[in-house]
Structure 1
Amino acid sequence: MAISKATRQFVAINLMEIGVVAGQDQLLDALDPSEPRAVCFVAQSLSVRPSTVSKMLDILERRGWCRREADETDMRRTFIRLTAEGHRMRSQVRRIWAEVNGDLARALPQNDLSVLEAALWNAERLVSGRLSRLR
């Protein structure tokens, strides 16, 4: 928990330098630059409610990072399309994540890294599964 909290705070500071608030990075990452994504799909992938995604999208849309599109066959559904500027911001977010991940990986003995990585992915799946049942 301590490593997670410190890492997230460090990432948040780096994100602020490019004008991204913590949470927006995950939303940008959940969007696919090559195709629009349904709001409900994005909400599910982030383990949040669609209304939470909609509120976050208001900010991203004002910044020109994405735009909403109505589903032509079902007007109740909304899709999100990443703009060129949003794609650029998503790339910067992923660069920051890669740098932090690289720093963390270099702090560990290389022969232990693959075992730790597998264990952490298993822990993430466990926690995400339990979280999704609660929402």
Structure 2
Amino acid sequence: MSSASPAPAQQPPMVGEDRLSFAIFSLARAHRAYAAGLLRDLGLHPGQELLLMQLLDRDGQSQSELLNSVGLDHSTVSKSLRRMQEAGLLTREPAEHDRRVQLVRLTEQGRAMREPLRNMWATLEETSTKDLDAQEVETLVRLARKVENSMTERSRAQNSEG
């Protein structure tokens, strides 16, 4: 990896007993920083790997389909796709059935990212789980999904209220 990771965040005293959210924040920050370094080594920005993986699984998706599959906002996806197009990883073209719909297709250079991405993802997983046994990994994944679902449900409820 090309750069040093940030130091672990120190829990502010005001967090007190409510330390789960701070632990999640710290974990997400460390994971994202490490992943960003691995991605930089591949010439990618965070989030672009998710778009590439979606396209490697099913090339020729519309921008709307990609937007829905990666869970990022419209402006982030548009900016990422523009950068990736400029880097020669993909093309965007109007769909024949509806010229307003932009289809995103990988170039040869984009398709060549399959193995480097697979290796990067494996390195990220190996580093993330190095001190955990298989049961701890399964428990962490299950609990992370529960917390994610709780946060998503709460966000949806707040959005429907306002």
For the criterion TM > 0.5, the same-fold answer is yes
TM-score (norm 2): 0.70
Looking at structure 1, the residues matched to 72 and 137 of structure 2 have their Cα atoms a distance apart, in angstroms, of 31
What is residue 62 of structure 1 aligned with on the other side? 86
Structure (1 or 2) with the larger CA radius of gyration:
2
Q: Larger deviation: 57-66 or 98-107?
A: 98-107
- Between the two proteins, the alignment pairs up a number of residues equal to 134
How do 1:4-83 residues align onto structure 2 when only pairs under 5 Å count? 4-32=28-56, 34-83=58-107
Looking at structure 1, the residues matched to 42 and 152 of structure 2 have their Cα atoms a distance apart, in angstroms, of 28
Looking at structure 2, the residues matched to 130 and 78 of structure 1 have their Cα atoms a distance apart, in angstroms, of 32
Render the CA deviation track for 1:6-59: whole Å, top value 9, x for unaligned: 011011111111211222222222323543111011112222333432222111
State percent identity of aligned pairs: 27
TM-score (norm 1): 0.82
Q: Cα distance, 1:81 vs. partner?
A: 0.7
Compared with structure 1, are the counterparts of its residues 114 and 52 closer, same or farther at alpha carbon in structure 2 (3 Å cutoff)? Answer: closer
8 Å CA contact 1:61–1:67 kept in 2: the answer is: yes
Which residues of structure 1 form unaligned runs of 5+? none
1:20 counterpart SS class: coil
1:79 counterpart SS class: strand
* RMSD of aligned residue pairs (Cα, Å): 2.3
User: Of 130, 141, 146, which aligns to 1:122?
Assistant: 146
